[in-house]
Amino acid sequence: MYWTLELAHQLEDGPWPATRDELIDYAIRSGAALEVIENLQAIEDDEGEIYESMVDIWQDYPRKDDFLFNEDEY
């Protein structure tokens, strides 16, 4: 399983929080890349575990505070 920003971006508007099966269904319905669906299927699901955001799936997913951007300046 591998994630890139491009692949992860396809799930940003997903139905968070969601189970793995809900995310797979969303990815199929939204026309996400095959790699996204394969990555979601590769997740070891613990009895319908709920994922709150992409960070729960891909721990290295960049968060808003990872960027050095001061919103107050603009």
Position 63 scores a pLDDT of: 73
Sign, Cα dihedral of 48, 49, 52, 57: negative
pLDDT per position as a tens digit, 48-69: 899 999 999 998 888 766 555 5
Per DSSP (E only), the strands in the chain are 18-19, 50-51
Low-confidence residues of the chain: pLDDT under 50: none
CB of 61 within 8 A of CB of 8?
yes
Task: Give me the residue spans of the domains in the chain.
Answer: 9-57
